Amino acid sequence: MAGKVRHPIDTAALERYITEHVPEIKVPLDVKQFGFGQSNPTYQLTSPSGSKYVLRKKPAGKLVSQAAHKVEREHRIIHALRNTSVPVPQAYTLCTDSSVLGTPFYIMSFITGRIFEDAAMPTATPTQRTELWKAAVEALASLHRVDPDSVGLSTYGKKTGFYDRQLATWTQICALQAATTDIETGVPVGEIPHMSALMSFFSNASLRPKDKATLVHGDYKIDNVVFATNEARVAGILDWEMSTIGHPLSDLANFLHPFVSASMSSRISTSSSSSSDKTAVASVVSHPSFLPNATPGLPTPAQILTWYSAAAGWTPSAEDVAWACAFSVFRLAAICQGIAARVARRQASSAEAQKHAAAMPLLGEFAWELVRREQEKARGAGAGAKL
């Protein structure tokens, strides 16, 4: 829901730019800011006729990481996918001239439909819940089927060594984020728990899934999907800033996160944190509605993998999915650490930022638990087991 503008922009300068470069969008504009958009401030633009558009821009100020906030990549991929089966917004313009709004931005169409901020979809019937989740799985598979070369994205990323690059990138970014100090207190954000041990495990190439290269969204989850208003169909996929050519398991593991992390709810409830802190953190990292049989109509992870395999044309192994899910939890911890760094520098772009920042240590602990859990399974299965 769009509302109060928390990060003001120069509306007059924006209207001048639009008049010159995007004449199909009429001015003057009514500007509101969305509550979502942890990394890049996101605005709703409404023209005099009532037509709506969305503007995404980099945050103001010195950025902790130049690898994040890639609005240019978002624009490039949604424009490239415009004539494929992947549902994306229409891209209108990319402005890299920082003199207009202070930082680069792009404008895309506003997609009318339903966004479920709660992935358990409490307002849906059990049948609808199943159908909507299946539609989201099949939309992801449609992305993974696109040949990057065929849509002009051959240079969008490397086709080998995805997890090697992820490790190198996150190691560098996490070091910068951990060292970021609060501008008022001087206290550093700090490392993700078990950072060294996690990096040691994930760096073992013999344990990783074999290379496979497709276009990947980078943050595929239910609240980044807009569903059609009255049918179980994906009308649009949002938030492409972390997209690249990479391993499709990275998207699949991110999508499975609510099921993987559901068991964290019991740990949060028994922690020493205050009741309000527990509620805030739990809303970010764990959802008891995803515990087995807790919510009628929610598919099981096994059902999701079956749907995905049928639609994508390949079947990942259980061991590879487990590895990818552990890495995905670590990666989410790193993302939350980045939000904590932006909170420390007063650059956070979402009202939810404090919750995500507080979730970082819990996610780090849970990533290490998943690694140890799979290591125990491997020891029990014998030397031939992957983990």
pLDDT tens digits, 193-224: 999 999 999 999 988 999 999 999 999 999 99
Confidence label for 255 from pLDDT (cuts 50, 70 and 90): very high
Over the stretch 87-109, which tens digit does the pLDDT of each residue have?
Answer: 999 999 999 999 999 999 999 99
Mean pLDDT of 10-38: 92
Mean of the per-residue pLDDT values of the chain: 90
38 vs 157, higher pLDDT: 157
Mean pLDDT of 127-138: 98
Q: What is the structure's pLDDT at 271?
A: 53
Q: What is the structure's pLDDT at 63?
A: 54
Q: Is 208 left (phi over 0), alpha (psi -120 to 50) or beta?
A: beta
**Residue 314 contacts by C-beta under 8 Å, 6 or more apart in sequence?**
212
Q: What is the structure's pLDDT at 303?
A: 98
Indicate whether 174 pLDDT > 70: yes
Mean pLDDT of 42-57: 96
Least confident range of 11-20, 88-97, 119-128, 348-357: 348-357
Neighbours of 330 (CB within 10 A): 28
Mean pLDDT of 166-183: 96
**Residue 178 contacts by C-beta under 8 Å, 6 or more apart in sequence?**
188, 189, 190, 191, 192, 195, 337
Mean pLDDT of 183-194: 96
37 vs 39, higher pLDDT: 39
Least confident range of 95-109, 214-228, 257-271, 307-321: 257-271
Indicate whether 353 pLDDT > 90: no
Q: What is the structure's pLDDT at 287?
A: 84
Q: What is the structure's pLDDT at 21?
A: 97
Q: What is the structure's pLDDT at 348?
A: 73
Confidence label for 4 from pLDDT (cuts 50, 70 and 90): confident
- Give me the phi and psi of 214, to 5 degrees please: -140, 175
Quick check: bond before 41 cis, omega within 30? no
| 17, 85, 232, 312, 313 from 142: Cα distances, Å | 35, 7, 16, 7, 10
- Planar angle of CA 169, 175, 176, nearest 5 degrees: 95
Residue type, 10: D
| 154, 302, 309 from 314: Cα distances, Å | 22, 15, 5
Q: What is the structure's pLDDT at 384?
A: 46
User: What percentage of the chain reaches a pLDDT higher than 70?
Assistant: 89
Indicate whether 382 pLDDT > 90: no
Q: What is the structure's pLDDT at 268?
A: 59
**Residue 55 contacts by C-beta under 8 Å, 6 or more apart in sequence?**
9, 14, 42, 43, 45, 105, 106, 107
User: What percentage of the chain reaches a pLDDT higher than 90?
Assistant: 77
